A and B are shown apart, each in its own frame.
Chain A
Amino acid sequence: MSDRTSAPPLRVFLVDDESPARERLKTLLDDIAPELATVVVGEARNGMEALQAVPTAAAQLVLLDIRMPGMDGLEVARHLASLDPAPAIVFVTAHDRHAVEAFELNALDYLLKPVRAERLVAALRKALAGAAPARDQLARAAHAPREYISVAERNRIVLIPVRDIVFLRAEQKYVTLRTRNAEHLIEEPLIALEREFADTFVRIHRNSLVSRAAIRGFERAAGSAEDDPRWLIVLDGIADRLPVSRRQWPVLRELVAERPA
């Protein structure tokens, strides 16, 4: 109770596609003000709006619905996690058995709709006391691969559609993400990306993954021996040729051979 006057109110952002649900949360936040002061710094009706607005709103905590049109709440949370500092997240769901199981398993905070005031206070306190959810914690709770990969820039989150990515290559500390017309540096480990997007990308080398759909063919590397050729991969829409490792070559040759002409 002593912090009631001294501490600044908690900056909360609301994300839910149903407007009555957002209204209800606002009413509840008002109701709990004597116990925990909050200020609603923004609202969004879907994931995209949230990703645009949260970074500039400097929200400390996001109350995030799971099921929304377009991007679902879990993917939104994974992109928000790339912010620094990342906001705390409390998921809100009406009934989603799988999501709730995943939250329990990965120690993520959540509330069930209809939300009760006491539970809201408890969840907000708990989320504030702990750290913002880590990326891998959220990744484990997700049941589907993301549709976007995000890069946090100053006060905004840049989303790159996974289907636009031509290749991913690990450099020393970062992974270079290449689309037809841009290049980004991301901080996620290549191995995690390979696991999440196994259907979209294939490994061609210890340090790189390429989009299965972008493979055009192979070229023999200049100067490689006739009886022991080294191969380069030709990719759609970009001029770069990436080396294929000896180890991955049989996998790729088979992959291309199986493909309908």
Chain B
Amino acid sequence: MASIRQNAYPDRLPDWRNLGVIARVLVAVNAMLAASALAAGRDFAEALERFMQGALVVEPLMLACIVSLCLLSGLLARLPYWIGCAAVLSLVLVLAGGAHALVMSSPLTTGAHAWHSLLLAAAATAALLAYFRLLAKAHSPALSEARLQALQARIRPHFLFNSLNAVLAFIRSDPKRAERALEDLAELFRSLMSEARQFVRLEEEITLLERYADLEQLRLGERLRISWELDAAPSDALVPPLLLQPLLENAVYHGVEPTMQTADVLVRIERLGDRVHAHIENPYVEAAQQRAGNRMALDNIRERLMLFFDAEARVETRVHAGRYSVDIELPYRTRMP
């Protein structure tokens, strides 16, 4: 199994290639610049001028830093945390020194001291690193808690007992089918009870989906019809475990169980460029909306995707033409930083 096992959460540099991280850097640096301009300026006009002047230097410098950090991201991630921090700081200082030299050689210069610029750059970098460390710390307990929640919210006891009941019904009439169902159930629960893992290969998640679907099929018979569109699914993509099974369970719970008609459920997973798309849709049953539990699974998945991919993952739900659908989009990755 090509999964990454990790139970503790040691300090780690942020993933500099992540859009959310980049956005945070951009906002934070500009906020610091604005604050210093406001503090130093006598009135708003002067503050604005100082801000513009500062931006002239700071923005290109920051972009240069971000680009270099993106490029070196893989390397930095392999260093021990504190050495990594030192490396990031040195990189920023080297670039800031270069920027300073460039500014001094231009006629626009206001004659600031080199140590002044370097100190500012070092302070800003240190502040950002501290912020990312705190952010990661704040998320780690949330991460284990989210997993726990996922475990509790995931399989509805109703599903377990009804499945066991269905298996009992088949034991005498179709022993082979009953055997297979028990194997499915065992495998499903093995995944549910496996120790906390951050990522699994998509093919593992798909197997889980199929096991789960087989069990529901046993119980619901022709009332449930699932179409699978998995030809373009990237089996090696890494995804958080139990990303899709709760969504299929929701589809059955809200879209199949409450109706007597045959319910069509569609599961489509595909890779589009460097993104993985998953789409699950089911009939929208108005009367079923009072059934609890839908939000819980969705919120849980949203939360976990946010923790792992920040702004690079999306979860969207919609109701259209009598169908309810959930779309998940996340970066296609086969290795985690």
What is A's interface to B at a CB cutoff of 8 Å?
17-21, 23-24, 27, 45-46, 67, 69-70, 94-96, 112-115
Contact = CB atoms under 8 A, between A and B. Distances in A.
Interface of B: 156-158, 160-162, 164-166, 168-170, 172-173, 218-221, 257-260, 287
B260 A18 contact: no
A67 B168 CA distance: 19
A93 B50 CA distance: 72
Nearest to A19: B221
20 contacts: A18-B166, A20-B165, A20-B169, A20-B218, A21-B162, A27-B172, A45-B260, A67-B158, A69-B260, A70-B258, A70-B260, A94-B157, A95-B160, A95-B161, A113-B164, A113-B165, A114-B161, A114-B165, A114-B168, A115-B165
A173 B155 CA distance: 51
Contacts of B166: 18, 20-21, 24
A94 B161 contact: yes
Contact of A20 (B160, B170, B258, B260): B170
A19 B219 CA distance: 7
A95 B158 contact: yes
A114 B172 CA distance: 15
A94 B257 CA distance: 14
A18 B172 contact: no
A114 B158 contact: no
Nearest to B257: A69
Contacts of A112: 161
Given A69-B257, A69-B258, A113 B219 contact: no
A69 B221 contact: no
A70 B287 CA distance: 8
Given A17-B260, A18-B219, A95 B164 contact: no
A18 B158 contact: no
A67 B293 CA distance: 15
B158 A23 contact: no
B243 to A, nearest CB: 25
A113 B161 contact: yes
Given A69-B257, A69-B258, A69-B260, A94 B165 contact: yes
Given A20-B170, A20-B218, A21-B169, A69 B259 contact: yes
- Top 10 A-B pairs, shortest CB-CB distance: A20-B169, A94-B161, A24-B169, A20-B166, A95-B157, A114-B165, A113-B165, A23-B169, A94-B162, A95-B158
Nearest to B222: A19
Given A18-B219, A94-B158, A95-B158, A24 B260 contact: no
A176 to B, nearest CB: 29
Most buried by B among A21, A23, A94: A94
A23 B165 contact: no
B213 to A, nearest CB: 16
A15 B161 CA distance: 17
Contacts of A115: 165
A46 B260 CA distance: 8
Contact of A24 (B157, B168, B257, B259): B168
Contacts of B162: 18, 21, 94, 113
A113 B219 CA distance: 13
A113 B159 CA distance: 11
Nearest to A97: B157
Contacts of B157: 94-95
A199 to B, nearest CB: 14
A23 B169 CA distance: 6
Contacts of B172: 27
B265 to A, nearest CB: 15
A114 B173 contact: no
B168 A18 contact: no
Contacts of B218: 20
